[in-house]
Chains A and B, each alone.
Chain A
Amino acid sequence: MAARHPWAAFVTAAWSLLGVRAPAAQATGTVDVGLSSVRYDGFLPSAAASVSPAVRWEQPTGTLTARGTYLRFESGHRSLQGLLAGSLLVRPPVRGWRGELGASLGASRYLDFASFWHATADARLHVLGADRGVWIGGTGGRTSFGSAARPVAVAAIGAWARRSHVMLAASATRSFVGDTAYSDLVSTAHTLRGALAFDASVGARFASRGGGRGVFGEASATLALGERTALFLSGGRYPTDPVSGSVAGRYVSGGVRLRLANPAPLVSRNSAPTASPRRMPDDGDPVASVRLEVLPRPNGAVRVVLYTANPAADVELAGDFTDWQPRPLRRTADGMWETVLPIPSGTHRLNVRIDGGAWIVPAGLTRAADDFGDEVGIVAVP
């Protein structure tokens, strides 16, 4: 029965996290709950259930992350991991350069005998461009397996670039952990398409003395179901990490990510359409996948385009540039709805109505409380 206590504690912590608002504007929290099939190198394959709460606090000048993972294997054995890491950004007197100082404390424990801890500090120098950048850095510290602490030294260099919706990064590191030494080359990619985010990485370990060698790669997909819930699927192979004590392995995992909401600002950038709370339940959900774009034209007019995945017979727009008189949008051949209006430069308020339903704020607009118990979209026309 004793083994159930950590599980219960983590579940309790997870629910408490969900019920507690983040303490600062940029504090966010997530809880991943998943099932995995994993095969660590040198061990038999096993199924595992995991709970991973994480809290991240962000400021323009720094970030702090606390994360834990509780794993319970098919055999009934369990492992615990915890990590606290932070970094502070400093701005050297050179435009586009950033310094970063960081520290990381972590520990893990499997059964009652295998335990790791590490304490490291690192420094990086970033050279940042508009859509690309490079960095160089070093890490030093100590790590321990059991009782003997070993020195850690890592030299690293990396680069990243952004192309449209894809972020690419690559890094090369040379690590020394006690008498173990190895080099890693890793490249990563991240893209976000609507509610779906993809992440992938491939890498190779070489020039290794006691750290293993070979090729590794991981991929994950995360599908947002709403502002606070997402499904994830991940898998791949990762290498041994002598600093944190993780053993190389292969895995496939799936689960759900539950996210704490940020403290609600008075207005919010709209990532999903919202409907009036006065909408009747039997109205259905005609506002799903509704997105509006406001496209200024050189002649001073503004083209308003609305995309909706659901069939609609009638779409209307009202705003402070129509004296809040509903204006019908015209259906285009490719299924969109559009209108062209003379909208002057400035900030404007507007709402959209589909098939005579409630006034809604489509995705793509800034959303604000409208003083009338509903919400209004805000758009800036340059």
Chain B
Amino acid sequence: MTLHWRGLGSGLVVVTLAAGSAAAQQVDPRLERLDSVTRPIVAALVDSARATALPTEPLVQRALEGATKRAAADRIVAAVRRLALDLGHARDALGPTTSPPELAAAAAALRAGAPPAILTELRRLRRESLTVPLAVLTDLVASGVPVDSAAAAVLSLAAKSRDTDLVEFRRAVERDIALGAPPASATAAAAAVTAAAVQVNAGARQQRPGRP
């Protein structure tokens, strides 16, 4: 396993800064799966997150994912550090009372390209958990829907829709895309509790492939 000096250096700084609290905290036994170099750095990052009231479980899981995939130490450290930053940004956008699953979902949405302002607006609009709306937002972007279109659709549904409605909405978009609707149009149509934007742009005269 290789370790870049840069990653090691910055990791050691974290270790040093967090030494006091790290000494006081019991290292998560699951981190025993990491090698002896990576483990203390990740443990320090986890402790640092705990000290700032960020959820630590996603960080542990990210490190374990790297271990299972036999990733290099510097990659594991970088991944955990990046996730910690994303979780922090997610909390900045959603507020200090955000639940750990919401923060994890928000971090994924930010990583997919959702701007923090969208998360803030989502929090303002919806009293219930944001976990599913954020997952739907991430999934729409993954389906090829531009971030602004996906965000507009989720925001339009967030205030009144239940989680099951949102999941059904995502399925409707996926189905329409599979049936040939453009992702952005499918999203806009489904968000308006409509359907795929079929039969639009009649002037393009849908033509069969190969028709001479």
- A91 near B: Cβ within 8 Å? yes
Q: Which residues of B contact A120 (CB under 8 A)?
A: 203
Contact A34 B203 (CB under 8 A): no
In the complex, the answer to whether B209 meets A367 with C-beta atoms within 8 Å is no
B79 neighbours in A (Cβ, 8 Å): 371-372
B142 to chain A, nearest CB (A): 4
A229 interface hit (Cβ, 8 Å): no
Whether A244 sits at the interface, judged by CB under 8 Å, is: yes
Q: Which residues of B contact A368 (CB under 8 A)?
A: 108, 111-112, 142
**CB–CB B182/A192 < 8 A:** no
Chain A residues near B184 (CB, 8 Å)? 25-26, 58-60
Contacts of A128 in B (CB 8 A): 189, 192, 194-195
Interface residues of A in 243-298 (CB under 8 A from B): 244, 249, 251, 253-255, 257, 262, 265-269
Hey, which chain A residues are within 8 Å of B142, CB to CB?
A: 265, 267-269, 366-368, 378
Q: Could you tell me if A325 and B68 are in contact, using CB atoms closer than 8 angstroms?
A: yes
Residues of B within 8 A of A349 (CB): 61, 65
Given contacts A162-B195, A268-B142, contact A320 B111 (CB under 8 A): no
Contact A96 B193 (CB under 8 A): yes
Contact pattern, B 184-212, Cβ under 8 Å of A = 1, otherwise 0:
11011100111111111111110111111
Contact of A122 among B64, B71, B175, B203 (CB under 8 A): B203
B68 touching A95, Cβ below 8 Å = no
SS class, residues of chain A in contact with chain B: strand
Binds B, one of A1-9, A10-18, A99-107, A329-337: A99-107
At the interface with chain A, which of B1-9, B11-19, B39-47, B133-141?
Answer: B133-141
**Residues of A contacting B134 in the complex (Cβ-Cβ under 8 angstroms):** 347
Mark contacts of B153-172 with chain A using CB atoms, 8 A cut-off: 1 yes-contact digit, 0 otherwise: 00000000001100100001
Q: Inside 8 A of B66's CB, which chain A residues have their CB? A: 371-372
Look across to chain B and name the residue whose beta carbon is closest to the beta carbon of A39.
B212
The smallest beta-carbon distance between A255 and chain B, in angstroms, is 5
Which A residues touch B189, using CB under 8 A? 128
Name the segment of A132-140, A143-151, A174-182, A301-309 touching the other chain: A132-140
Q: Which of B90-142 contact A (CB under 8 A)?
A: 101, 104-105, 108, 111-113, 131-132, 134-136, 138-139, 141-142
The answer to whether A311 has its CB under 8 Å from any CB of chain B is no
For A344, the chain B residues whose CB sits under 8 A away are 101
A232 touches B203 (CB 8 A): no
Whether B203 pairs with A87 at a CB distance below 8 angstroms is yes
**Known contacts A130-B195, A346-B105, A347-B138: does B205 contact A372 (CB below 8 Å)?**
no
Residue among B132, B139, B211 with max Cβ neighbours from chain A (10 Å):
B211
**Chain A: which residue is nearest B178 at the CB level?**
A192
A378 CA to B198 CA in the complex, in Å? 29
Contact of B209 among A65, A160, A222 (CB under 8 A): A222
Per the 8 Å Cβ criterion, residues 62-78 of B in contact with A are 62, 64-69, 71, 75-76, 78
Residue of B nearest to A267 (CB): B142
| A260 CB, nearest partner CB in chain B, Å | 13
**Closest-CB distance, B176 to chain A (whole angstroms):** 8
B183 within 8 A of A: yes
Q: B residues 47-64 with Cβ under 8 Å of A?
A: 58, 61-62, 64
Q: Which residues of B contact A116 (CB under 8 A)?
A: none
Which of B64, B141, B183, B199 has the most chain A CB within a 10 Å cutoff? B199
Contact with B along A103-130 (1 / 0, CB 8 A): 1100000000000000010101010111
- A61 at interface, CB cutoff 8 A: yes
Of the A-B pairs whose beta carbons lie under 8 Å apart in the complex, a sample of 23, sorted by A's number, is A25-B144, A60-B149, A61-B188, A85-B204, A87-B203, A96-B192, A104-B204, A128-B195, A130-B194, A158-B199, A160-B198, A190-B179, A192-B179, A241-B205, A265-B112, A269-B143, A318-B68, A371-B62, A371-B79, A372-B65, A376-B65, A382-B132, A382-B164
Q: Ordered nearest first, which 5 A-B pairs have the shortest CB separation?
A: A104-B203, A253-B210, A60-B188, A380-B135, A128-B194
